[in-house]
Amino acid sequence: MRLQDELEELQPVVINLFKRSKRENRLSHGYLFSGPSGVGKKRMALWLAQSLFCLEQTSEIFACSECVNCTRIANDNHPDVHWLAPDGASIKIDQVRGIRSELIKQGMESNKKVLIIDEADKMTVQSANSLLKFIEEPEEGTLLLFLTTNPAKILPTIASRLQPVTFRELPFDQLVKKLEQVGISEQKVRIFASITGSIKEAEQLNEDEFFSEARNASIKLYEGLHHNGPNPLIFIQETWMPLFKEKKGMAMGLDLLLLLYRDVLHLMLNENYTVISASQIEWLKRDALQFSLPEITREIEAVLEAKTKLDSNMNAQLLMEQLVLKLQGGHGFA
């Protein structure tokens, strides 16, 4: 699939903004791309750079993805397109110095130059300041693209001179499709798509041992509460608490538990609903027949309340025990 077509699906608002700006010949000299990881910021930057140099451009196709220039830019092999990314934890002044001298030079093959800074929030203050000149007194034909998942961390002196462009999270169905394409198993795609809006994060979760343990723990707890699983209070003490020593991890455990209750609720409301937890579909369907609507609503509220309390200073084990008692009060079917 051509990059432009992919981006039209992924970020239609953003790409249309750029198409319009290019048609009207009023592309700005600097943009700040923000949005979660894996939603197309880097690909948009690549496409935009290609669109400045593409040899096969038409009034509709701004970058063909195939000509010599598009290919060189995609392979980071074009003398007038520069990428900058953190070397270790930050983007250091030495890295920026090299790029600066490139930017000052005449364009190698044209009068246009592009600098794309990935994870721009990781620039040291020094690095950022050394680029200020290019942002304050933009040179004709120079395009600076700052990419970040964390726009609040971009120095205000920089951010205020860039045009902000916000990338949306992917819609659920589209995310599911993309996750299937990157090879995540059918059993898992809907779970990841529910937990994160980003393909990259989903791929990380897919590799993450802790995530599968957390997922198993949430299923075991649910089984203990509503089926023939382990005694929930003992399970909390012996397995849940040792696994979720940190609040962040436990929040994930509760999110995963919540997914199971939400599946039951949706199955009650719509028999054609595609469950998120596909491997549990048999007992989720059974539960959908057993729970009443007020019961399932109460269970969901109890889990949400526990999640909120996690942020307070309440003892985590006590919080979980209270949750178990509430959830048991709902319905216990063997």
Give min distance, CB of 251 to Zn ion, in A: 45
Kindly tell me which of 67 and 251 has the beta carbon lying closer to Zn ion. 67
Kindly tell me which of 71 and 297 has the beta carbon lying closer to Zn ion. 71
Kindly tell me which of 57 and 196 has the beta carbon lying closer to Zn ion. 57
The letter for the amino acid at 310 is L
Q: What gap in Å lies between CA 304 and CA 261, rounded to an integer?
A: 11
Kindly tell me which of 49 and 64 has the beta carbon lying closer to Zn ion. 64
Q: For residue 50, which of 2, 17, 96, 11 has the smallest C-alpha distance?
A: 2
Give min distance, CB of 107 to Zn ion, in A: 17
* Runs of H (alpha helix) within the chain: 3-10, 12-23, 41-53, 68-74, 93-104, 125-136, 156-159, 172-181, 186-195, 199-207, 209-226, 232-235, 241-243, 247-269, 281-290, 293-310, 316-330
Sign of CA dihedral 256, 257, 258, 260: positive
Kindly tell me which of 70 and 316 has the beta carbon lying closer to Zn ion. 70
Give min distance, CB of 250 to Zn ion, in A: 50
Give min distance, CB of 4 to Zn ion, in A: 10
Decide: helix, strand or coil at residue 148.
strand
Kindly tell me which of 65 and 149 has the beta carbon lying closer to Zn ion. 65
Give min distance, CB of 139 to Zn ion, in A: 24
Contact residues for Zn ion (CB under 5 A)? 54, 56, 64, 67, 70
R_g (Cα) of the chain, nearest Å: 25
Beta-carbon count within 10 A of 292 CB: 11
Q: What gap in Å lies between CA 329 and CA 334, rounded to an integer?
A: 14
Give min distance, CB of 140 to Zn ion, in A: 23
Give min distance, CB of 47 to Zn ion, in A: 10
Instruction: Answer for the pair 116, 87: CB distance below 8 angstroms, yes or no.
Output: no
Kindly tell me which of 56 and 76 has the beta carbon lying closer to Zn ion. 56
